[in-house]
A and B are shown apart, each in its own frame.
Chain A
Amino acid sequence: MDLYVITIISIVICIYIMTPLFNDHNLFTKSGENDNKYKNMKRIMVLNSEKENIYSELRDIEFDYKLGKITRDDYEQLTDKYKLKAAEKIQEIEKLKNNQ
């Protein structure tokens, strides 16, 4: 009985593991003409992540200023610095989108 049970489990598992090998679906690119498009897409995703990170930094700077942890001058200096970084990311994203 134990042998029958484990045999059935093994067969089911093997089918489960092998099934994706016979599907057509492929999210990864194949080499060739789509490589650049894929690289651009990945670069845009990375830039979007970095942009969101900068926005989070800006929210933190504003929060720290409201909590009285940084002076007005430091607040403005840091805000300008990070806004400039965000603008650079946005510019690069737009450039990549236009190239696609």
Chain B
Amino acid sequence: MAEIGNISVFFAFFLAFYVIISSFLAGKYRNEKLFRSSENAILSIAILLIIAAVCLLHELLTLNFNLKYVALNTSTDLPVVYRITSLWAGQAGSLLLWCLLLSIYFALTTVTDRYKDLEYKPYVNMTIAVVALFFIFLISFIENPFDKLSFTPQEGRGLNPILQNAYMAIHPLCLYFGYVGVTIPFAYGMGALLSGKTDYNWIKQSRSWFIIAWTFLSVGLLLGARWAYLELGWGGYWAWDPVENAAFMPWLTGTAFLHSVMIQERKGMLKKWNMILLITTFFLAIFGTFLTRSGIVNSVHSFAQSNIGPLFMGFISFILLFSFGIMLYRSKSLESENSFDSILSRESAFIFNNLLFLAAAFAVLIGTVFPIISEAVSGEKILVGEPFFNKVNVPIGLVLILLMGVGPLISWRKSSWKTMRKNFTVPVILSVIFGIFIVFAGITETVAVISYVACFFVTSTVVIEYYRGISVRRDKGDNFITALTTLISRNKSRYGGYIIHIGIVLIVIGITSSSVFSHQTELVVNKGESFTIGKYKMVYTGLNSYVTDAKNATVADLKLYTNDKYSGEMKPEKNIYKYQGNREINQETEVALRSTLIDDLYVILTDFNTDTGSASLRVIVNPMITWIWAGGLVLLFGALVIILPKRKKNESNNV
């Protein structure tokens, strides 16, 4: 099977070359035969990479340790589900996954757009094929997952214990779908520039694919945060780790794009700006992939040191030079078709929002690469930590939240002071009252008050928007449910976007509460002793241990009382894994977690003494952290509302 996989990868490499050449010739000479042949090659690449992935999966599942990748990432005691997820645990396997997902996206653009946009589609295909060629080159010649060892070991090195978690099954997949998916809208942009067809159609296609990639990036980021919260055992979920930042930056610029693209669709403006955002987002996605793999940053996510760093730098340089070069060449065709109708308009608010997103992305980029730059310049690595990122991004974030509330209240094209006074009065008054209320309730931390008031403001504007929209429909005779569903289905971008905003609000409330009001304690307890944190009291009843094929586990048994009522047991663990895994750690903590909508009780067994039976614990109470995960679900729902296709147009086009 390994041989089939290996040859499939090499064949896909040559087909990627063929797609580039045939697409270019098809576009230049408008030759449909070559175009169709190149599209068949695109579908064939997807088939070959699926075959390669299936072959590698087979080798992982059957534990063929003669393959280097299998020997490094699995072991005989590894459960079947983690043998599957080990497909993306290592460098070579995750690069294969990258190629596979890109080929699937590539095939989908071919199947869904088969008879449209034939003017510039060959150049779109050519662009995607160039990206595919680079990554398939990496897995063919540099990090081949089918490389064999000169001998067959009896046992594999095993999978890193922190990767043996359900969230690891989907976090990388989601994130990769996001990273990889950004290639498609970028390719549509390049297709428009290369063909000179910079009219309306390319931006529509770009946006449709972009929202899919953005959704995956958003969910991937949240799943990663959840995994970090559960597995890394420090009580947090975001550490401004370089690789976290690498996924966050394209999310920031991508969110800016999703807003400004609406202006281009409506008014034919900001064409250059959107093209810059598209190129920048794609660059950041590839840069993020580079950061994870090159070994130049220390991160819990980093793969082992590798020699693909220089190759990535070369590819990134080529992408930037070519993209901006072709954009300059076609700059005349990217001039605005219209001008702003008024400074008091949603367009202006969106431009302000864009500038803030870009400022945040730039700050994160500087903070992430600063250690690398400082080491290159002075020989000394100067680390940039949380204080910098929080100091810059918290104020930007708060203003963005406020803008989320302002945008819906002002109209496209033109608003007047009179209508703005009318639309802002109720939500502003309610928000001020809410602010006074929470201060009197005892919340005095400035950041928390501003954050909660801003979130309330956004929520009230969304509720008002829905209420007004439903009222307009009900005036036409619809009942409430029909009015609501028709309102959403006829204005999916607007009302789906509002649902996403509510999701963001929930996430921000969760982040604010858990950041500002979290409290923790560290202590050593002996058997029979109890301790209190907030409303929780825990009684330590002693240490326990158990053994599995994979690990020796030590458990601290704690009885939990909430407001003096017995509410169950907490069992934090410290495990020693029998096999080393990919990194030089063989120990791992399993936190004990009790989650409610009000707070999370998070207990970590940091150390223990089997002679005295004592346990060292770190106990954290994180308020409202569940709201972050709930917000993610709401965000996903809102994105699905936007992504799912409209009903057929056999109904009236009236509102």
Do residues A18 and B655 form an inter-chain contact, with CB atoms below 8 A?
A: no
- Which residues of A are found within 8 Å of B48, using beta-carbon distances? 9, 13
Q: How far does the Cβ of A26 sit from chain B's closest Cβ, in whole Å?
A: 4
Residue B418, interface by CB 8 Å? yes
Residue B128, interface by CB 8 Å? no
- Which residues of B are found within 8 Å of A16, using beta-carbon distances? 40, 43-44
Q: How far does the Cβ of B7 sit from chain A's closest Cβ, in whole Å?
A: 5
Q: How many B residues have CB within 8 A of the partner chain?
A: 51
Do residues A63 and B266 form an inter-chain contact, with CB atoms below 8 A?
A: no
CA distance A25 to B18 in the complex (A): 21
Of residues 56 through 72 on chain A, the ones whose CB sits less than 8 Å from some CB of chain B are 56-57, 59-64, 66-71
CA distance A80 to B411 in the complex (A): 17
Do residues B199 and A28 form an inter-chain contact, with CB atoms below 8 A?
A: no
Do residues B409 and A69 form an inter-chain contact, with CB atoms below 8 A?
A: yes
Q: Which of A2, A13, A74 contacts B3 (CB 8 A)?
A: A2
Residue A20, interface by CB 8 Å? yes
CA distance A97 to B32 in the complex (A): 25
Q: Which of A57, A68, A71, A74 contacts B266 (CB 8 A)?
A: A57
- With A17-B41, A29-B30, A64-B412 known to touch, is A71 a contact of B4 (CB < 8 Å)? no
Of residues 35 through 64 on chain A, the ones whose CB sits less than 8 Å from some CB of chain B are 42, 46, 49-50, 53, 55-57, 59-64
Do residues A10 and B11 form an inter-chain contact, with CB atoms below 8 A?
A: yes
Residue B428, interface by CB 8 Å? no
Q: Mark B581-601, 1 if CB is under 8 A from A, else 0.
A: 000000000000000000000
Do residues A61 and B419 form an inter-chain contact, with CB atoms below 8 A?
A: no
CA distance A99 to B410 in the complex (A): 44
CA distance A79 to B215 in the complex (A): 35
Do residues B472 and A63 form an inter-chain contact, with CB atoms below 8 A?
A: yes
Do residues B47 and A13 form an inter-chain contact, with CB atoms below 8 A?
A: yes
Do residues B413 and A78 form an inter-chain contact, with CB atoms below 8 A?
A: yes
Interface size class of A (residues with CB under 8 A): 35 or more
Residue B653, interface by CB 8 Å? yes
- Which residues of A are found within 8 Å of B4, using beta-carbon distances? 2, 5-6, 9
- Which residues of B are found within 8 Å of A42, using beta-carbon distances? 119
CA distance A60 to B469 in the complex (A): 12
Do residues A74 and B34 form an inter-chain contact, with CB atoms below 8 A?
A: no
Q: How far does the Cβ of A19 sit from chain B's closest Cβ, in whole Å?
A: 7
- Which residues of A are found within 8 Å of B655, using beta-carbon distances? 59, 62-63, 66
Q: Is the interface of A mostly helix, strand, loop or mixed?
A: helix
Residue B265, interface by CB 8 Å? yes
- Which residues of B are found within 8 Å of A29, using beta-carbon distances? 30
CA distance A2 to B2 in the complex (A): 9
Do residues A67 and B34 form an inter-chain contact, with CB atoms below 8 A?
A: no
Residue B363, interface by CB 8 Å? no
Residue B390, interface by CB 8 Å? no
Residue B381, interface by CB 8 Å? no
- With A2-B4, A69-B423 known to touch, is A49 a contact of B200 (CB < 8 Å)? yes
CA distance A18 to B411 in the complex (A): 54
- Which residues of A are found within 8 Å of B468, using beta-carbon distances? 67-68
Do residues A67 and B32 form an inter-chain contact, with CB atoms below 8 A?
A: no
List the 10 shortest-distance A-B pairs measured between CB atoms, nearest first: A20-B36, A28-B30, A69-B411, A64-B411, A2-B3, A63-B655, A20-B37, A26-B32, A13-B44, A6-B7
A-to-B contact residues, CB < 8 Å: 2-3, 5-6, 9-10, 13, 16-23, 25-30, 42, 46, 49-50, 53, 55-57, 59-64, 66-71, 74, 78
- Excluding A28-B30, A61-B413, 15 further A-B contacts by CB distance (< 8 Å) are A13-B48, A17-B41, A20-B36, A20-B40, A23-B36, A25-B32, A27-B32, A28-B31, A29-B30, A59-B655, A64-B411, A67-B468, A69-B415, A74-B414, A74-B416
25 residue pairs A–B, Cβ–Cβ below 8 Å? A6-B4, A6-B8, A9-B48, A9-B51, A13-B44, A16-B44, A17-B18, A17-B37, A19-B40, A20-B36, A23-B36, A28-B31, A28-B32, A28-B118, A30-B30, A55-B653, A57-B413, A59-B654, A63-B472, A64-B412, A68-B419, A69-B409, A69-B410, A71-B416, A71-B418
